[in-house]
Amino acid sequence: MKTVNVVCAVITDGSRIFATQRGYGEYKDGWEFPGGKIEAGETPEEALVREIREELAAEITVTEYLTSIEYDYPAFHLSMQCYLAKITHGTPVLLEHEAARWLTPEELDTVAWLPADQTIIALLKDKLR
């Protein structure tokens, strides 16, 4: 099974967390933490800064490593490194996603998270309360 190596940003603003809804592909309409594939020669943090710039036209600072998720989707294995981040410049513009919401820890269960991202939710609820 092919492994896809990605990074995701858990962007926070106080106790609120930024969630995005996929606008394309097999998992269209699922909610996720923004991010993407790590390119050759990039550190995970560099990939994350680039991906957020490309997807949301915003600049972030990666503040802390959160966790790694290993998840088997039907067609591939996802290896996802997750980091806490803050927006340092700009307001997110949805260039690839169809929707976005700022959620409080209590609201995290109100969107339909993609399976791999679901595994981060319990950790976030504990960390951000």
pLDDT tens profile 2-16: 999 999 999 999 989
Per-residue pLDDT of 59-81, as tens digits, reads 999 999 999 999 999 999 999 99
CB burial class (10 A; 0-12, 13-18, 19+) of residue 32?
Answer: buried
Residue 36 has a pLDDT of 96
Q: Where are the domains of the chain?
A: 3-128
Contacts of 10 (CB under 8 A, 6+ apart): 17, 18, 33, 66, 82, 83, 84, 85, 120, 124
Domain 3-128 indexed as CATH 3.30.450.20: no
